[in-house]
Amino acid sequence: METVVSGIRSTGNLHLGNYYGAIQNFVKMQHEYNCYFFIADLHSLTTHPTPADLHGNVKQVLVEYLAAGIDPETATIYIQSDVPEVAELYLYLNMNAYLGELERATSFKDKVRASPDNVNAGLLTYPVLMAADIIIHKATKVPVGKDQEQHLEMARTFANRFNRLYNKEYFPEPFAFNFSDNLVKIPGLDGKGKMGKSEGEGNAVYLSDSPEVIRKKVMRAVSDSGPTTEYSEKPVEIQNLFDIIKVVSSADTYEHFDNLYNTCQIRYGDLKKQLAEDIIIATAPIREKINDIANDTLYLRQVARHGAIKARESASKTIREVREIIGFKSF
Ligand code: TRP
């Protein structure tokens, strides 16, 4: 059975984009592959190093993974920092990662541009750690969004380079993977790009948002004064709202508002009201579980320990073999 690895950085609550873009894939894949899903808390240190926030952020992602339906008996769910073998492999891979290729990574350049005062080596070698996450379990499939494509390509480069250097076909190549053919894209509510935490207040609907907060955010979503010619093309901010409706609402609802748009009778207040209610309904099962799971410390502890044991079993086997390949020997 093929092995799947994916992770989400622990920098706070998950939003609709995380859910429909990644976690829904995880939930489906867990039954068909040997899955490892982890919380990338080491990665979060590159941008979010505050000790007081760290544990809460990790807990939030763990709770939301579980509430969304990842089953810790079926998939292996673990916290990255619980598996020190990952950090060891990262060290070995760093020895053969070149400064030039790391500096050229788009995500690195974006981060440098965004915060020129915090260009730490961890940011530079972020893709090396990500490669270690993936190849430590010899994964071949990685469910991630389009924005991670370049990181996956680098993971293949590092895996292949290791194999070539030591003249052994040891690590398989990992590839980005989407469970369904149509990549689900969840735009933000700000009328611009994708839903994301760093895009500003009100742009993202979080899985943990209460119905009142969801209504408030959706009602404030950017729209315009409506079309004036029939069957005109939708401007980006309106298309965004329709894109979200397509994912969370029924086909009838989509058609209803599409018709009103095409005949210039649409009232965005009505559309937003409906959209908010449909988001509330779609996320209700997760929201209901979030609080219960968050309050069950015993269960969370058990899940984290169980996951760490399973992940370390696989990771320590790889590290044992890698040490041998590299040439470490005991006296
Ligand atoms: N870089 C990923 C992101 O920002 C998170 C991540 C870290 C990851 N390690 C990974 C994803 C390994 C897949 C596999 O979304």
Ligand 1, atom nearest to 43 Cα: 7
Q: Which DSSP letter does residue 21 get?
A: I
Boundaries of domain holding 280: 209-291
Residue 144 phi/psi, 5-degree rounding, is -145, 165
Could you tell me if 321 and 284 lie in one domain?
no
Could you tell me if 240 and 166 lie in one domain?
no
Residue 192 falls inside a structural domain:
no
Distance 273 CA to ligand 1 centre (A): 34
- The catalytically annotated residue of 59, 109, 185, 197 is 197
Residue 265 falls inside a structural domain:
yes
Residue 196 falls inside a structural domain:
no
Instruction: Give DSSP secondary structure letters for 197-231.
Output: GGG-TTS--BTT--HHHHHHHHHTS---S--SSTT
pLDDT at 54 over 90: yes
pLDDT at 179 over 80: no
Residue 198 falls inside a structural domain:
no
pLDDT for the residue numbered 199? 73
Residue 128 falls inside a structural domain:
yes
Could you tell me if 170 and 300 lie in one domain?
yes
Number of domain units in the chain = 2
pLDDT for the residue numbered 211? 97
Q: What is the CATH number of the domain that holds 229?
A: 1.10.240.10
Question: What is the rounded distance in angstroms from the CA atom of residue 18 to the CA atom of residue 303?
Answer: 21
Low-confidence winner among 6-20, 74-88, 101-115, 195-209 (lowest mean pLDDT)? 195-209
- pLDDT by residue (tens digit) across 256-305? 999 999 999 999 999 999 999 999 999 999 999 999 999 999 999 999 99
Mean pLDDT score across all residues of the chain: 95
pLDDT for the residue numbered 28? 93
Instruction: For residue 194, indicate whether it is catalytic.
Output: yes
**Ligand 1 interacting residues, C-beta cut-off 6 A:** 5-7, 9, 40, 43, 130, 133-134, 142, 144, 148, 151
Distance 267 CA to ligand 1 centre (A): 40
pLDDT for the residue numbered 181? 63
Could you tell me if 88 and 9 lie in one domain?
yes
Residue 204 falls inside a structural domain:
no
Residue 227 falls inside a structural domain:
yes
Q: What is the CATH number of the domain that holds 12?
A: 3.40.50.620
Q: Which residue has the tokens 């939003």?
A: 15
